[in-house]
Amino acid sequence: MSTAPKQAPRAGTDAPARRRRASRALRTPGGLSVRLDVRALTVVVVLLAAALGAGVLLIGTGEFPISTGDVVRTLLGDGNPGQELVVIDMRLPRVLVALLVGASLGLGGALFQALSRNPLGSPDILGLSQGATAGALVVIVLVSGDARQVTLGALAGGLATGLAIYLLAWKRGVHGYRLVLVGIGMSAIMTAVNGYLLTKADMVDAARAVVWMTGSLSGRDWAQVWPLLALCAVLVPLVLGNGRALRMMEMGDDVSYALGVRVERVRLLLMLAAVLLTAAATAAAGPVSFVALTAPQLARRLTRSPGPNLLPSLCMGATLLVTADWTSQRVFGADQLPVGVVTGVLGGVYLLWLLVTERRAGRI
Amino acid sequence: MSAGGGLGGEATHGPNNRRSTVNRLSADNVTLAYDQRVIAEQLSVEIPDHSFTVIVGPNACGKSTLLRALSRMLKPAEGRVLLDGKAIQSMPPKKVARTLGLLPQSSIAPDGITVADLVGRGRYPHQGILRQWSAEDERVVRESMEQTGVAELADRYVDELSGGQRQRVWIAMALAQQTPLLLLDEPTTYLDIQHQIDVLDLCAELHEEQGRTLVAVLHDLNHAARYATHLIALRDGRVVAEGAPGDVVTAELVEEVFGLRCQVIDDPETGTPLVVPAARKARVKAAVTGAP
Amino acid sequence: MPVTPRRRALRAVGLLVSALILVAVALTSIAVGAKQLSLGEVWHGLFASTGTYADVVVDDRISRTVLGLLAGAALGLAGAVLQALTRNPLADPGLLGINAGASAAVVTAITFFGVTSLSGYVWFAFAGAAGVGALVWFLGGSRGATPVRLALAGTAISAALYGYLQAVMILDNAALNKMRFWTVGSLTSATDSTIRQVLPFLVAGMVLALCLARPLNAMEMGDDTARALGARLNRTRVLSMLAATVLCGAATAACGPIVFVGLMVPHVVRSFTGPDLRWILPYAAVLSPVLLLGADVIGRVVARPSELQVGIVTAILGGPVFIFLVRRRRTAQL
């Protein structure tokens, strides 16, 4: 294998020289080659480590605090039965759900932003969360179902809404703008439906509903983990495999066509994947706000790479959500406040910061 | 209705042989429409191999639409576009992209992308999941940047460049595709005159020194007459004339296609036709008296 | 399309007809409701009120109708002004996050300031609406605002504010109980005193909006053309945003968030009056209450003996209409 580093601080002609990000290509004698962006790869590794580290910390937090060393020992199979009960049966599933939901939202958000070519594009915008909420509310208010049924209802609601939005936006192909605007309309309809259901509920159901609607990880067990894991195992490789095509599509439909990208097919596939990931994540944890919006942007700032940054967004989403949950547990006490509140605050701060930077950049 | 006017210069087919297999790219009786609005009906066009073909015509005559159809971006409502004898719509997209390159009018440079990265993206049709960046790719990118004169800008961010520089970067990207045919949709719009000539000179180089077939839509008739080896004049979705500029560009044709009174002289630099519009007073007088 | 005297006369007649329709709808709103009253009882309640149960119902309905008229007109005018200001035919005050701002402010009032009555938190709603309106305007790019940027900015800010709202509702059950009814938008929560509170703002906003017709007309053609014609762009922009926010804020403060009225009516009106705001605004002011009261009546009738709040009806009717409008436009213009 030979590496061919491509970096050269050039003595510029007029403008100051720019140091390029080192990117390497690993080549085999057989003609195969893989292109690696060193910085992006580093970011991914660091974020993964951070996510797992935060996960371990989270397992140790709660009504029965367990030290980090004990947590690790228990995970490796070497703890006492009491700790095993708490760690493996109660807390590990919650952390796994947090990791998977965060990852799905991060990836889904990156896909939406790339496909709509807008940094404010996010599945929240499209009304998917409201659709999933409608499904969940129907179960909570009308059927008084248990957690499993709520999950199913939310999944059904999210998927149905996603499908409806896509079909309604379809007019010989789907363009980003129309999709966003149809989604906004759908979102308003679903919000009204949800509002209605909330007024019809009794106080207990209403309280339960609002907790769900904020996005919460409490009480998540293995029943939520397996479906989410299976879905991610299928969708993530599929999405990442189409990453190169998506990178071309950033340059506009015309250029992508010219380069031989099957634009409509890739767009459809990736939209479907994004909807599925978002619907599954929302079904598992409720509509957790802002992870899908902020994770891709934060990832991009770390990697400083102009592409869709799919893998970094995935890792950033996982890290964000686990960290948010840990923060919520530590600051407000175990299970007092749903994780969606912390991500909401994060989102608010992000928006304000965006406002400031956009103003400074003269774009406002 | 197919071509009127003579087919001068490198005529490659006889009077009855519209569907010549000699030319790689052609449109065969196509009807082009957007959303029920028909732009051209039953249009047949041949792009002679190794020519520098330019399509001209007034606004909304269908020239960009024709180019989009030739480049596979617009599916004809009827008829087909043929590339190497096969219908272009039925060929695998990457295969087409290795044969036919396109410089579109509207392209978006992603934020924060460098020139070398952008040019590198032109290698996509030659790459795959396991063949992401070969030594060949690097060489071609370097050559393309040198050819278009943007090699010193390799590390700069594209959004910092001037309009002329940016256009050359996009051309470099199209060149990196290494296609024998290259389509350009109004490559000189929004550029100042120096850069317009720069781009056109580059196209002439690609055509003469590398033997590529170029098809360009230009809105400036004089540029078209100067650089083209084969001219196609469209009006209202029909070919009014096609052939070598020397044969096609006449005062009568310009009046018929563009509705402009003029005289056509020889360009003192290149000898190609140069259109000189009639002075306003002369045109007004002619309109009033009805003189030819 | 030159405006011939004939066309002008047609438009004037149309306006008159619309006003008559409004009167008819208003009367329907008084006569029809979840509780069925005979026409005689309605008449009695209107003109010879003695305090019977039926009279009280009629009295309530009158208040409700008046509120519907005012709020409807306010929303319609706000929508028309925003559409002209952003040059975006799909602008709606609700989509720009103003509703979220009002809701967040109201819940803050209830939970942190212990305000319990509508007349108390009406000011908060107002302030919240105004604040968010300005914020969305800036975040959406103010001068460079495109339809999608504004909508996205509005939705993003709404999401943040609704998150806050939900957090408070989780922690404070009383707030939850109040807010879940307020946020759906209804004409019944306001009392006469509330109406009196917001009335000056509604009137001021309407007058301001109507005066902005000519300057906004000039802005329709693009900034450069407008400047060349002598329009004072910045002043017009600020005043328009002010008018829209005041109108929308006041209406939302009294009724809770109501979406799509401000979007649909000006859009429909535009299709038969053309782009001249001197006609669009009066028509919007007259026809929006028709829509709002009509939706209210539907809400009363459809779910007897209880009612469907007007905010829900307008969303469920308006959403599909909005989507239909989006589909009709060519992508390039969005």
Instruction: Give the separation between CA A137 and CA A145, rounded to whole angstroms.
Output: 10
Instruction: Tally Cβ neighbours within 10 Å of residue B196.
Output: 19
Contact C153 A338 (CB under 8 A): no
- % pLDDT > 90, chain A: 25
pLDDT tens per residue across span C8-42: 888 888 889 999 999 999 888 888 877 777 777 77
Any idea how long chain B is?
292
Most confident range (mean pLDDT) of A242-246, C5-9, C45-49, C155-159 is: A242-246
Task: State the pairing for strand pair B52-56/B230-235.
Answer: parallel
How far does the CA of residue C39 sit from the closest CA of chain A (Å)? 31
pLDDT of residue B189: 82
Residue A361 has a pLDDT of: 66
**Do the Cβ atoms of C180 and A198 come within 8 Å?**
yes
The reply to whether residue C159 touches residue A193, judged by beta carbons under 8 angstroms, is no
Bridge partner residues of B230 (DSSP): B53
Of C2 and B3, the structure prediction assigns the larger pLDDT to C2
Closest CA in chain A for residue C257: A192
Split at pLDDT 50, 70, 90, the class of B9 is very low
User: What are the pLDDT digits (tens) for A253-308?
Assistant: 889 989 999 988 898 899 889 989 998 999 899 888 789 888 998 998 888 888 88
What is the Rg, in whole angstroms, of the alpha carbon atoms belonging to chain A?
Answer: 22
Considering only CB atoms, A210 lies closest to which of C90, C135, C166, namely C166
Long-range contacts of A339-342 (CB under 8 A, 24+ apart): A339/A98, A339/A215, A339/A216, A339/A217, A339/A285, A339/A288, A340/A214, A340/A215, A340/A216, A340/A286, A340/A287, A340/A288, A340/A289, A340/C163, A340/C166, A340/C167, A341/A214, A341/C163, A341/C166, A341/C167, A341/C170
Query: Do the chains contact at B132 and A8, CB–CB below 8 Å?
Result: no
Helix (H) or strand (E) holding A15: none
Residue numbers in B near A244 (CB within 8 A) = 124, 127, 129, 132
pLDDT the model gives residue A362: 55
Angle at A37 between CA B177 and CA B101, to 5 degrees: 10
Cis geometry, peptide bond prior to residue C305 (ω within 30 degrees of 0)? yes
Q: Let me know the angle formed at the C-alpha of A130 by A129 and A132, rounded to the nearest 5 degrees.
A: 65
pLDDT score of B291: 55
* Minimum Cα–Cα distance from A250: chain B residue: B110
Q: Is the pLDDT of residue C72 over 50?
A: yes
Can you state the percent helix, strand and coil of chain B, rounding each to 5? Answer: 40, 25, 35
**Side-chain half-sphere CA neighbours of A267 within 13 A:** 24
Interchain contact, A252 vs B124, CB within 8 Å: no
Report the DSSP beta bridge partners of residue B262. Answer: B277
Q: Please give the pLDDT value at position C61.
A: 86
Chain A and chain B share a number of CB contacts under 8 A equal to 112
- Looking at beta carbons, which residues of chain B come within 8 Å of A250? 108, 110
Say what the pLDDT of residue A6 is: 37
Give the pLDDT confidence score for residue B8 in this predicted structure. Answer: 39
Q: Hey, is B233 helix, strand or coil?
A: strand
CA distance A64 to A67: 10
Whether residues B134 and A8 touch (CB distance < 8 A) is answered with no
**What letter does residue A3 receive in the DSSP assignment?**
E
User: Does the pLDDT of residue B147 top 60, yes or no?
Assistant: yes
Kind of pairing, strands B181-185 and B213-217?
A: parallel
Question: Quick one: pLDDT at residue C284?
Answer: 93
Question: Is B242 exposed, middle or buried, given 0-12, 13-18 or 19+ CB atoms closer than 10 A?
Answer: buried
Most confident of A35-39, C63-67, C153-157: C63-67
CA distance C179 to C189: 12
Q: Give the one of B93, B105, B107 whose C-beta lies nearest to A262's C-beta.
A: B93
Q: At what angle do helices A147-169 and A128-137 cross, to 10 degrees?
A: 140
CA angle A188, A192, A193 (to 5 degrees): 115
Q: Can you tell me the distance from the alpha carbon of C204 to that of C184, in angstroms, rounded to the nearest whole number?
A: 26
Query: Cβ of A117 and B108 within 8 Å?
Result: yes
* Cα C30 from Cα C9, distance rounded (Å): 32
* Residue C119 backbone phi and psi in degrees, to 5: -65, -25
Which of the two residues, A231 and B13, has the higher pLDDT score? A231
Which among A186, A289, A364 is the nearest to C159, CB-wise? Answer: A289
CA–CA separation, A362 vs A355, rounded Å?
11
Largest CA distance in chain B: 73
DSSP string, C120-160: HHHHHHHHHHHHHHHHHHHHTTGGG--HHHHHHHHHHHHHH
Question: Is there a contact between B71 and A252 if contact means CB atoms under 8 Å apart?
Answer: no
Query: CB of B210 within 8 A of CB of B182?
Result: no
Average pLDDT, rounded, for chain C = 82
Q: What angle do CA A18, A23, A25 make, to 5 degrees?
A: 145
Low-confidence winner among A17-26, A114-123, A177-186 (lowest mean pLDDT) = A17-26
The predicted-structure confidence for B182-214, as pLDDT tens digits, reads as follows 999 999 887 888 888 988 999 999 899 888 999
- Position C69 scores a pLDDT of 93
Task: Report CB contact under 8 Å: B114, A261.
Answer: no
Contacts of A13 in chain B (CB under 8 A): 152
Amino acid at C222: G
Cα dihedral across residues B36, B37, B41, B47: positive or negative: negative
Q: Which of B71, B130, B132 to mutate to test the interface with A (most CBs of A within 10 A)?
A: B132
Average pLDDT over residues A216-222: 83
Binary contact (A125, C156; C-beta < 8 A): yes
The SS3 of residue B234 is strand
pLDDT band at C263 (very low <50, low <70, confident <90, very high): confident
Which chain B residues are Cβ-neighbours of A27 within 8 angstroms?
133-135
- The b/e string for A283-293 (b: 16+ C-beta within 10 A; e otherwise) is bbbbbbbbbbb
Contact A168 C173 (CB under 8 A): no
Q: How far apart are CA A108 and CA C130, in angstroms?
A: 33
CA distances to B49, B81, B239, C47, C259 from B25, rounded to whole Å, are 8, 7, 16, 84, 54
Mean pLDDT score across all residues of chain B: 85
**Does ipTM top 0.90?**
no
CB contact under 8 A, A188 and C159: no
Please name the residue ranges forming H helices in chain A. Answer: 38-60, 68-75, 81-84, 92-116, 128-137, 147-169, 176-200, 203-214, 222-241, 243-249, 253-258, 263-285, 291-303, 310-332, 339-360
Per-chain mean pLDDT for chain A: 82
Residue type, C246: V
- The tens digit of pLDDT for each residue in C311-331 reads 899 988 888 888 887 787 654
Q: What is the pLDDT of residues B96-131, one digit of tens each?
A: 999 999 998 878 888 788 899 899 999 999 988 888
Measured in angstroms, the CA of C17 and the nearest CA of chain A are apart by: 31
A104: tokens are 């799905």
Q: Is B18 within 8 Å of B2 (Cβ atoms)?
A: yes
Measure A189 CA to nearest chain C CA, in Å: 5
Q: Which residues contact B206 (CB under 8 A, 6 or more apart)?
A: B147, B175, B182, B212, B214
Q: What are phi and psi of B284, to 5 degrees?
A: -65, -45
pLDDT tens-digit series, residues A4-53: 333 333 333 444 445 455 567 777 777 777 777 888 889 999 999 999 98
Identify which of A182, A188, A289 has the shortest CB distance to residue C326.
Answer: A182
pLDDT (mean) for B71-89 = 89
Residue C191 pLDDT > 70? yes
pLDDT band per the 50, 70, 90 thresholds, residue A324 = very high
